[in-house]
């Protein structure tokens, strides 16, 4: 999940801030255990992308990436920015579709669990004011409302948004990555010019990133396939 916060609250989140946040995320390091726990076929794909991304090919970022494994290496050949789109099915798959995870319920204080259990029973009862059995057996977020389950409208509350979301009202989109295509000589020259301009710009004070937990990639041998077979 990539979170983007507006630098200027009166403007909201800008396109530039979205692109910068995606770029910073893709430049981030990947934990070694995350790489080593991947199937050997997946590690070979990452290793191939890792080598290409640090090559002298005109379509590659080059040696500026350093030796550590970056998130962009995990994109393989689908490393070109394809925009962001609204995808409700993807959001449901990634963030849940309304059911409450059991561990979330079990980690709540016992008093809170009793309140939720009481609401759970009422909401599935035959009471005239209850939704009824249509809810099913799974725990729903409305069960967490307890007795405060009647709709009272929606209001703007900047203090609530700041407390819950960190000064920003979140909107969730899917970041699409599309297959790379080779650049011609003219496009490559333009890309180098833009990169040179980017490097010449002064970095903001908040752009410094820790290099702890770096992962150095090692080549994957075919022997690693034995555990998959």
Q: Per-residue confidence at 210, pLDDT binned at 50, 70, 90?
A: very low
Per-residue pLDDT, averaged over 153-166, amounts to 67
Residue 46 burial by CB count (10 A; 0-12/13-18/19+): exposed, middle or buried?
A: buried
Q: How many C-alpha atoms does 119 have within 13 Å on its Cβ side?
A: 19
Mean residue pLDDT across the chain: 75
pLDDT in tens, 59-118: 888 778 888 889 999 988 888 888 888 877 777 666 655 555 566 777 788 888 888 888
Which residues lie below 8 Å from residue 69, measured CB to CB, with a gap of 6+? 29, 30, 32, 35, 46, 50, 214, 215, 216, 217
Per cent of the chain over pLDDT 90 is 5
Q: What is the pLDDT of residue 205?
A: 45
Phi, psi of 106 (to 5 degrees): -70, -25
Domain boundaries, the chain: 15-86+173-227, 93-165
Query: pTM of the full predicted structure?
Result: 0.46
Q: What is the pLDDT of residue 86?
A: 80
Q: Which residue is listed with tokens 């076929």?
A: 41
Given a contact cutoff of 8 angstroms between Cβ atoms, the answer to whether 74 and 177 are in contact is no
């Amino acid at each position: 999940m990539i979170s983007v916060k507006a630098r200027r609250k009166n403007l909201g989140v800008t396109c530039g801030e979205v692109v910068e946040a995606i770029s910073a995320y893709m430049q981030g390091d990947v934990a070694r255990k995350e790489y080593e726990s991947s199937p050997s076929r997946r590690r070979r794909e990452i290793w191939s992308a890792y080598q290409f991304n640090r090559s002298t090919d005109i379509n590659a970022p080059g040696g500026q990436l350093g030796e550590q494994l970056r998130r962009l290496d995990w994109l393989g050949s689908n490393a070109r920015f394809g925009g962001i789109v609204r995808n409700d099915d993807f959001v449901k798959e990634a963030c849940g579709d309304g059911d409450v995870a059991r561990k979330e319920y079990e980690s709540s204080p016992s008093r809170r669990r009793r309140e939720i259990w009481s609401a759970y029973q009422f909401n599935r009862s035959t009471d005239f004011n209850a939704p009824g059995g249509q809810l099913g057996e799974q725990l729903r977020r409305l069960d967490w409302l307890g007795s405060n389950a009647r709709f009272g409208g929606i209001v703007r509350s900047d203090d609530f948004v700041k407390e819950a979301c960190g000064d920003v009202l979140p909107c969730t989109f899917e970041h699409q990555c599309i297959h790379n295509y080779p650049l011609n000589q003219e496009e490559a020259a333009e890309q180098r010019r833009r990169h040179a301009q980017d490097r010449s710009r002064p970095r903001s004070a908040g752009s410094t990133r820790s290099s702890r937990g770096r992962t150095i990639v090692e080549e994957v041998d075919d022997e690693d396939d034995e555990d998959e077979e």
